[in-house]
Chain A
């Protein structure tokens, strides 16, 4: 049982949860993730760690309501408990080889690059941060990024904040100026794929954080497998970060939909919603 010590809404259907988990907090590093179960009957769902405090023994995650389990979590408030919280899983990010780094976040993925931005600032190598979302409301952690980024660029689909357009539009301009030797992209697979297609043209190393379907998160089931550089890799133990230019995006995106039918059916039972 782990307690939700703080919860705040960051955008419609997007909540930040600060969860008490001492051991996870004292062992985690940027790039790692956790798996939680909301209640005893719950499924195991992975979330990337957005922030952590070893002193307070807390780990922060950001959750967008997209299905049954995330909706169930949203019903929990401060002081409530969730059944299980395990981590930190996966390998930590290692960008030590690079000096001119762009962190690109799409949608909820923005939050996930925050610990990286904070870390790079702390070691004296602040990165540029490029965030994209559908609209201004969905841009998150702006104050935090303001403090930690070297330059902060924003893009929204509807132009309500920053550039009207996609993160790739901003990134392209910067790549033309030869601004980076490494790009790290986190967000929906479609966005990461688009970033990789772009950076490939410029021959700039690109790291992505993959979020496939998982069960155990410890390398036991193989459900999270991806094809990377022609080889089968397990996102939970070999990743979650991989060289974006080596990923077989077609398969990865198709696998993400493996349980879509069943999930739809289940979400409807919770919300009474029909699709």
Chain B
């Protein structure tokens, strides 16, 4: 059957020259009409290849069909049966690597904008007054450590089944990376706030400023609860260990983004200070690097350069973020690797890199970059932001020996997501290392199901 051609609807965006100077959301989202139009592009394939691309198996053709009929809340219910945070996932999932990659239309006239429609529905659901669902209390209690997407999802699933849930969060604000990492212009904080408010309505308690392992121990949580879920995130930012890394003006993306997102250092008058680089170098090419680079631009930098040791194809960030970064004028120095950071009077003023070329593919299939001899060059920079990933935070493990960790320090779990300690479950970045929102959410959901099974809650 020939497919009638109908181009993918582009998501409207703020103009690049304007948005690079503000923190408002870049992508503006579909309106009702366009969402319906886009949903109607779905061919409703029998074998639904898109679903295979989704880590949590959202019933994509089904929800798109409802959207086409204008039945938005029914569409929402379908998504929510496997994905609790559609307004978030619609914005931050790497759709081009997941559902949309598998869409049959991808090579014809562009994949259905599944993310775009999901975002529309997610926002629609948040705009509805929440219904007071009567849940029968089970008398069971669960403690959740961390309020990132894994913790929030786990809490939501349990609370909906009448389990009494308390979420313990180290920071003074809930949301994990969704609030302190991903910037406002990509994920407005009010959305995360709205999701958290829903949980509160369901009776979930939040204990902020509580560092599990320090303020309260896992042993205590186990005494007071029937089970514990650990969703404590990816952990410590990695540095390269090169000369000059501790100069002033060199900082991790985590620190930079936290100062700006969580502590609102971008507002004039904020008590939290932040350095405003004019000539900023960002090392790394994942989502975190793109976020840091685009934030630096919005903080008034004249020039922002992303330095990455591999090539364009290998950049791990979402395609959309790379595109947006380029539109906004971020420069890319690909196949370049920093070798040292130079400074004067304790402050950075340049970064020295070496050119790289791609060699043979390694075990993971990615081609290993090797340095080209005598190809060093110097880039001036008054701020260097390091976004090279994380290594697990030993804080919880150190306070609770019985928890087994793998070679890299991530928590070890079994099929049911239970750790080496009976009744203690874990998921998200704490288990996988830095990954994605959708995987963290899926893990929170799966662990919740295991806990419900364990507690005999139907």
Contacts and interface: CB of A to CB of B under 8 A. Distances in A.
Interface of A: 23-24, 27, 37, 41-44, 68-69, 72, 83-89, 215-216, 218-223, 225-227, 232, 234, 237, 248, 251, 254-255, 257-259, 262-263, 266, 269
B248 A216 contact: no
B255 interface: yes
Contacts of A223: 251-252, 255
Given A68-B271, A85-B209, A222-B252, A232 B246 contact: yes
Given A219-B395, A220-B254, A221-B258, A83 B236 contact: no
A251 B246 contact: yes
Contact of B273 (A37, A87, A220, A263): A263
A34 to B, nearest CB: 10
Interface stretch (B95-103, B122-130, B210-218, B369-377): B210-218
9 contacts: A23-B210, A44-B172, A86-B172, A219-B393, A221-B252, A234-B236, A254-B346, A255-B248, A255-B346
B394 interface: yes
Contacts of A222: 236-237, 239, 251-252, 254-255
Interface in B275-299: 275
Contacts of A216: 170-171, 258
A248 B244 CA distance: 13
B221 interface: no
B215 A88 contact: yes
Given A24-B215, A220-B235, A232-B239, A237 B258 contact: no
By secondary structure, the B interface counts as loop
Interface string B245-280: 111110110110011000110000111111100000
A257 B247 CA distance: 11
Given A24-B215, A86-B170, A237-B394, A43 B272 contact: yes
Given A218-B393, A227-B246, A87 B214 contact: yes
A42 B271 contact: yes
A169 B236 CA distance: 41
B277 to A, nearest CB: 12
Contacts of B254: 220-222
A102 B241 CA distance: 35
Contacts of A72: 271
B208 interface: yes
Contacts of A43: 263, 270-273
A266 B271 CA distance: 7
A66 B237 CA distance: 30
B395 A215 contact: no
Given A87-B211, A220-B393, A262-B273, 9 more contacts: A27-B217, A86-B209, A86-B211, A89-B211, A219-B394, A222-B237, A222-B239, A223-B251, A237-B394
